[in-house]
Amino acid sequence: MNYERTNETGPVSGESPMVGAVISTDPDFRGRLTEIFATGGEVVVGFDVVEPFTRITDAHLEKLRQVDPDVVFVDLESDPHVGLKFSEFLLESSTARTVVGAGSTDSPEILLRAMEAGVLEFLPKPLDPRKVEGVIERIRRKTGKTANRETPRQLGQLLSVFSPKGGSGATTFAVNLAVAIHQVSRKRTLIVDLDLELGETALLLGKDPRFSSVDLVRNYHRVDEGLLASYIERDESGVELLSAPYQPGDFGTVEGDRIGKILGFLKEQYDYVIVDVPKTLNAVTLHAFEASDRIYLLTTADLQSLRNVTRSLPLLKGLAGGRDDDWIRLVVNRFSPSHPISVSEVEKTLGMKVRWTLRNDYRAVLDSINEGRPAVLEGRSAYAENVRRLAADITGIQTAPKTKSRLFGGLVSALRNGHADRS
């Protein structure tokens, strides 16, 4: 069995960070591990599988092999017996080099079975960060992998969402996009709500935040990672939020360029920063655009919205500087094929290509607002699918095909063929 990584192009062993993968249906467990990886553990999250063991597909396994994690954390809580068979399969097929199990059981039978399966350690749930860090440290010593902090961190991408007409769905889109990006990439993702009058991102996540972007801007001179963390709210979905103030606030005498510096600082801390830019154009919004790697310009296909977009386009284009035309990406929201104004008419009116359409999906969007749970967390509405596709485009990570799960069939036959079945 070959446990060596054959990575010709990557950094030599000893200089590369440790890569982890997580298999769990439990969002709290995944969120907590991601957090420990990012802070105490200094582990790069390679891939998460969120499906129950019986729904894990060959595509998931293929992705796992590509990511080639140093350690796979397997949440055994829901089904310890199948989970342990699966762990054994991962190890014996070299899909994983190390498996760490977790669960709330203290049954000696399960622990013994875990040992037999080759599971390196067993962590009790809920996870104790120090225990997880201890496990990571032991694996690190074994593999000779360095902590992530020793490799220079790449700057994150800052994506602004903007619609010049209120009620077009910009905030809904910003929140769903952030959650979808995090779902596919498991990278650190932050939503920044710059709408000081009507900031609604917290509402869409069902959150009641204590601090806001105003606090961050006011205290900018002493902002470091610690203070930033105290202003940030963590959602169960895994995304983090720098909310708008509950009561309309203002940035007072804050010069616009301060927001540019803050956004630059946030890009150092996060892989993706999604900014909900309000429709009021002022120094803060203009600096937010300038700091953006991409602007998603959202419109609905009606005359009033298109007219507002036409009016704001010269200003946005004026901020583009040397950036290419692709900097501003037009998204038509509340799209339906039977809509009286077609996509090509929108393109003709605005003189630019429509890059994406998001389906009009009243029910899904309304339900998600009422429940404080973004639509992309709930099943397969047309809107959620559209946003997911966009997130895949941004992250470069394609979501698993939606064809019916072939795997457990595949896995079961692998087990039967003697890979793992000892019973």
Ligand X SMILES: Nc1ncnc2c1ncn2[C@@H]1O[C@H](COP(=O)(O)OP(=O)(O)O)[C@@H](O)[C@H]1O
Q: Is 197 in the site for ligand X (CB under 6 A)?
A: no
Least distance in Å: CB of 104 to Mg ion? 41
Q: Which does 115 bind (CB under 5 to 8 A by kind): ligand X, Mg ion, none?
A: none
Task: Give, as one character, the DSSP assignment of residue 17.
Answer: B
167 binds ligand X (CB under 6 A): yes
**300-to-128, 164, 295, 320 alpha-carbon distances in Å:** 47, 10, 16, 23
Q: How far is the CB of 232 from ligand X (least distance, A)?
A: 21
362 binds, among Mg ion, ligand X, none (CB under 5 to 8 A by kind): ligand X
Residue 400 CA to its chain's centroid (Å): 15
Among 40, 166, 372, 410, binds ligand X (CB under 6 A): 166
User: Judging by DSSP bridges, how do beta strands 233-234 and 240-242 pair with one another?
Assistant: antiparallel
The angle at the Cα of 34, spanning 38 to 162, to the nearest 5 degrees, equals 85
Told to check if 171 binds Mg ion by CB under 5 A, we report yes
Task: Report, in Å, the least distance between residue 228 CB and Mg ion.
Answer: 23
SS3 13: coil
Q: Which of 87, 171, 183, 285 binds ligand X (CB under 6 A)?
A: 171
Enumerate the H helices of 190-278 as residue ranges: 201-204, 213-218, 225-231, 256-269
Residue with the two structure tokens 């010069």:
255
For position 361 contacting ligand X by CB under 6 A, the verdict is: yes
Residue 254 contacts ligand X per CB under 6 A: no
Helix ranges (H only) for 12-166 are 27-36, 58-67, 80-92, 108-117, 129-143
Residue 172: contacted member of ligand X, Mg ion, none (CB under 5 to 8 Å, by partner type): ligand X
Which one, 119 or 190, has the nearer CB to ligand X?
A: 190
- The SS3 assignment for 238 reads coil
What is the Cα–Cα distance from 219 to 221, expressed in whole angstroms? 6
CB-facing half-sphere around the CA of 206: CA atoms within 13 A: 12
The C-alpha atoms of residue 296 and residue 272 are separated, in whole angstroms, by 14
Number of residues that bind ligand X (CB under 6 A): 19
Q: Quick check: 365 binds ligand X (CB under 6 A)?
A: yes
**Position 201 contacts ligand X (CB under 6 A):** no
Q: Which stretch binds ligand X (CB under 6 A): 38-46, 121-129, 359-367, 387-395?
A: 359-367
Dihedral over Cα of 81, 82, 85, 90: its sign: negative
- Please state the closest distance from residue 8 (CB atom) to Mg ion, in A: 47
Residue from 114, 190, 263, 358 that binds ligand X (CB under 6 A)? 358
Query: What is the rounded CA–CA span in Å between residue 73 and residue 50?
Result: 12
Q: Is 360 in the site for ligand X (CB under 6 A)?
A: yes
Q: Given the rule CB under 6 A, which of 53-61, 88-96, 140-148, 358-366 is the region that contacts ligand X?
A: 358-366
The answer to whether residue 176 forms part of the interface with Mg ion (CB under 5 A) is no
- Does 160 interact with Mg ion (rule: CB under 5 A)? no
Q: Phi then psi for 259, rounded to 5 degrees?
A: -65, -35
Q: Which one of the spans 71-79, 119-127, 165-173, 289-297 is the region binding ligand X (CB under 6 A)?
A: 165-173
Of 106, 234, 246, whose CA–CA distance to 179 is shortest? Answer: 234
Binding site for ligand X (CB under 6 A): 163, 166-172, 200, 333-334, 358, 360-362, 365-366, 369, 383
Binding site for Mg ion (CB under 5 A): 170-171
